[in-house]
Amino acid sequence: MGKIKVASQWLESCAGCHMSFLDIDEKIVELLKHVELSSTPITDLKHPPEEGVDVGILTGGIGNEEQEEEAKLMRERCKVLIAMGDCAVTGGICTMRNFFDLDEVLRRGYIETESTVDGEIPQHEDLTPLKEQVAGVGDVVDVDIYLPGCPPSAEAIWFVLSELLEGRMPKLEGDVLKYGMDGE
Amino acid sequence: MSEVQLTINGQPVAAQSGQTILEAAQAAGIDIPVLCYHPSLTAWGACRMCLLEVKGMRGLQTACTCPVADGMEIQTETEAAVEVRKFVLELLFSERNHYCMFCQLSGDCELQDAAYRYGLDHFTYPRPYQKLGVDASRKYFLMDQNRCILCTRCVRACAEVVANHTLNVRERGFESMITADLNVPFGDSSCVECGSCLQVCPTGALVDARSAYGGREKDVMHTETTCMQCSIGCTLDVVTRYDRLLRVDGVWEAEPSRGLLCVDGRFKPLYDDRKRITQPMIRRDGKLVETGWEEALDTAAAQLKAGDVQGLATCATSNEALTAFQTLFNKMDGEAGLLEPLAPDLDYGTKAKLEDILDADFIVVAGAKPLDYQRVAGYFIYRAGDQGAKVAVISDSETEMSARADMTVSYADADQVVQAAAGAQKIVLIYSIGIKGKVLTAFRQLSEQLFYLALSPGRNEQGARAVGLQPLALNRAATRFFLLSEQSEQPALLDKLNRAFTIVQASYLSPLVEQADVVLPAPLWYERTGHVTSIEGTIKPLVEVLPKPEGVRDDAEILTALADLL
């Protein structure tokens, strides 16, 4: 079995899903025998290579236009796309802002918070525009595997990757299918 | 009822006619998913989770409402049934805020469990992100409409378990919303905060303010004990974690109230912020100071030996403590009795169980305020009234029960009630210390069909009666008093006791404790061990839910130690 190429990217996310991935502990050594890590938030390569990867992993929701572009790029350049963690699966905790108007959210965040003095809403041509609502990855591109959890447990992540290594599409059930922090 | 034979998933199952498919399946150990169904409530068939296939019947059937019939061939997990259940779940998850990661019920949620069961790994449909209200206008629990799936378990619990009819559904379809009365905040509504709705809610829509986020089912301990907030004696399921009280639930199978609790039993005791006594105290140079048990008991015993002591108990303690109290005073030939009055037993009729209220066709409430003092009995009367029983109140002043009664008369017109009850098959007479002899005499002629339930103010009054303790007037001439589990703050009593030497065995600081000469710290309701006798005369266990603080001793143990010193 040759090595399969894996790329990952985090979008609107807290990094917890990548931390949970590192929680697979010593199994990462086993994993690296079979997997070549390409672009990830923790390696130098920032985007998946043009020639593509076998497995793309996206964590986080789609909250701005850049994240949408990143999601589309990963979809183009990977064969199997995993939406990992509740934010990638449903928009997750980031969707709490969907219950308010975007203006209200920005005003609250940058001006009205109790700790803010003379705040202003940042505006610059380099800043990517926010989406009106935060969405899951599946709302902007086709997703092959949904792996919910906040974060998904290391066991669940290992299960999905090891199934793929065995050439099977993982079917999540039992202890590896958990929402929120229920996997704790 | 006759036995019928059917098959479920090919397995032969014997059931009783009149059972539903769900009941038959559950009895046979076959699991069918449910959301709106609850075994203590009327089956509703609303959520469509239990849809399944019955050979020869058109479409899918709801297992919770479809009665069994002989020869039925049932399949619970066919492709069509599973597909429909998934579809229902996908719709439920799309409608409101069912993001588990910030829900207090995650891990214990029935909606979540159903989604796990059918492998839902993402939302299929767009979410509308409606911002619905969270009603926190009640002290003890909140209603978060965003988490509600409109299963109406709460509505049915409110109507059937407590029969208070506060909750209902307003609007239709997508606009449907659980509402209190005519859409007022829950805190301003007719809600009596019994918490029955909270206990049956399958999702995080009803949120207990104290236990939310305090621990999931796998983290907590459950201990069953008996409520001592009134004389009824309901069974409590006390939920704790890390030696902290989290929540109290009712126990559906347990007599006398079968799951129903009231605000006094379920919520209030968890919010008691009176200051606790955790060390024995004696009065030294006019000041109450903490001391060890030896000195406290020796001081108390010396006073008891000197004689001229009157012992007065409130019944808020275990049978064992009341027995030890009686034994202590027998040993020193002293006078002991109860501070609280007892409602007299009748010398005719049959003593009622709480459930007798439910199948009575005529209920008389005389000189009692069950909705204030023994609320569960009051709610049982509501339930009986809903089922068609006539309810008559005899009282010289308007009581809350009158609003739901068929007639309210003054004592002068009590005969009208006797006449109205004359044709009834089963009469339950519910009374307390306010009842007048005239009424007791008037009902004697109906003694054959009459059941009586005496609601005395003492909490373990049945236990006190059993050891022969009777109400006792304060003896002004006595120079020493022993007060057991006294929490009374009656100024007149305090004034009378102030001039005597008083030994108080109690749990909380109170004006009485502050003027005592010896204070013996006793356990709280959730630290007690022993037994209590329910209103029905059943001896029920008091189980230590959490350990007593160091320095506090068991009630009976204190009294026995004192007797040994005499």
Cβ within 8 Å, pair A181-B103: no
CA distance B77 to chain A (A): 17
Burial of B181 (C-beta count, 10 Å sphere; 0-12/13-18/19+)? middle
Is the predicted pLDDT of residue A60 greater than 60, yes or no? yes
Domain boundaries in chain B?
3-77, 125-271, 281-342+461-565, 350-454
Cβ within 8 Å, pair B122-A83: yes
- Domains in chain A with CATH codes: 4-98+131-176 (3.40.50.700)
Residue B381 CA to chain centroid, in angstroms? 15
Task: Tell me which residue in B101, B123, B127 faces A180 most closely, judged by beta carbons.
Answer: B101
CB A81 within 8 A of CB A65: no
Token look-up 């007639």 returns B407
Is the predicted pLDDT of residue B440 greater than 70, yes or no? yes
Task: Tell me which residue in B97, B112, B131 faces A182 most closely, judged by beta carbons.
Answer: B112
Q: Could you say which of 3.40.50.1370, 2.40.50.140, 3.40.50.740, 3.90.550.10 is the CATH number of the domain covering B281-342+461-565?
A: 3.40.50.740
Please list, in sequence order, all residues whose beta carbon lies within 8 angstroms of the beta carbon of residue B446, skipping any fewer than 6 positions away. B418, B421, B422, B424, B427
What pLDDT, on the 0 to 100 scale, is given for residue B489?
64
CB B179 within 8 A of CB B236: no
- How confident is the model over A6-33, as pLDDT tens digits? 999 999 999 999 999 988 888 889 889 9
Which string of b and e fits B522-533 if b means at least 16 CB within 10 Å?
bbbbbbbbbbbb
CB B89 within 8 A of CB B22: no
ipTM: 0.93
B112 contacts in chain A (CB < 8 Å) = 179, 182
Q: Does pTM top 0.90 for this prediction?
A: yes
- Nearest chain B residue (CA) to A183: B107
- Nearest chain B residue (CA) to A92: B99
- How confident is the model over B455-466, as pLDDT tens digits? 999 999 999 999
Please list, in sequence order, all residues whose beta carbon lies within 8 angstroms of the beta carbon of residue B509, skipping any fewer than 6 positions away. B274, B275, B276, B277
Cβ within 8 Å, pair A182-B119: no
Q: Could you say which of 3.40.50.150, 3.90.930.12, 3.40.228.10, 2.60.40.10 is the CATH number of the domain covering B350-454?
A: 3.40.228.10
Token look-up 């120079």 returns B479
CATH fold label, B125-271: Alpha-Beta Plaits (3.30.70)
Mean pLDDT value across residues B371-381:
97
Task: Tell me which residue in B101, B122, B130 faces A146 most closely, judged by beta carbons.
Answer: B122
What pLDDT, on the 0 to 100 scale, is given for residue B10?
96
Is the predicted pLDDT of residue A182 greater than 60, yes or no? yes
User: Top-level CATH class of B3-77?
Assistant: alpha beta
Token look-up 């050979």 returns B55
What pLDDT, on the 0 to 100 scale, is given for residue A1?
52
- How confident is the model over B131-161, as pLDDT tens digits? 998 999 999 999 999 999 999 999 999 999 9
Highest mean pLDDT among B481-495, B496-510, B527-541: B527-541
Cβ within 8 Å, pair B102-A177: no
Q: In what order do the strands lie in the sheet with B390-394?
A: B350-351, B450-454, B427-431, B362-366, B390-394, B407-409
- How confident is the model over B491-521, as pLDDT tens digits? 777 777 878 899 999 999 998 999 999 999 9
